[in-house]
């Protein structure tokens, strides 16, 4: 085995992730290779330094209130969905009522009524087209069943 092969064992040795047999083989290599032994020593020092750095423990209050923070997000998320759906429904209803009134009003010119109907027909075609495209790509998506 070359020194390059032993580089992989170096980290596992440092972190005590080698089996006894692998450990003995690596220690034998260290004894015969001053360059790897020097590198190993430098890594040991680095590990001591990083192990000396500990994260500050937050107050217990943070853990007690943690789920509350997550729950608030879930609740607000549901709130936004309900609000958006209601907003869209009201907008559609208001739009249709307004258009209905315009169409029924004999004082409004035929040209404006035809324009409004064309606008509605265009929106409906766009909507159907987008839905059809989505369904087409979803049915052919090779990754939709990839397990996560």
7 near another protein, rule: CB under 8 A = yes
Q: To the nearest whole angstrom, how small is the minimum distance from the Cβ of residue 88 to another protein?
A: 20
In total, the chain counts a number of residues equal to 148
3-state class (DSSP) for residue 142: coil
Q: What are phi and psi of 105, to 5 degrees?
A: -75, 115
Size of the site for another protein (CB under 8 A): 34
Q: How far apart are CA 17 and CA 11, in angstroms?
A: 8
Q: Determine the Cα–Cα distance for residues 114 and 109; give it in Å rounded to an integer.
A: 9
Binding mask 67-106 for another protein (x = CB under 8 A): x-xxx-xx--x-----------------------------
| Positions in the binding site for another protein (CB under 8 A) | 7-8, 10-12, 15, 17, 42-43, 45-56, 58, 62-63, 66-67, 69-71, 73-74, 77, 147-148
């Amino acid at each position: 085995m070359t020194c390059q092969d032993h580089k992989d064992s170096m980290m596992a040795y440092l972190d005590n992730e080698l089996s006894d047999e692998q450990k003995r083989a690596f220690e034998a290599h260290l004894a015969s290779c001053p360059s790897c032994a020097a590198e190993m020593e430098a890594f040991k020092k680095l590990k001591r330094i990083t192990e000396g750095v500990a994260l500050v423990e937050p107050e217990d209050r943070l853990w007690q209130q943690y789920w509350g923070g997550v729950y608030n997000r879930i609740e607000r998320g549901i709130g936004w969905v309900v609000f958006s759906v209601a907003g869209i429904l009201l907008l559609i209803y208001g739009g249709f009522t307004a258009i209905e009134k315009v169409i029924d009003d004999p004082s409004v010119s035929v040209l404006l009524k035809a324009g409004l109907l064309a606008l509605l027909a265009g929106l409906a075609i766009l909507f159907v087209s987008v839905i059809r495209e989505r369904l087409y790509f979803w049915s052919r998506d090779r990754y939709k069943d990839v397990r996560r």
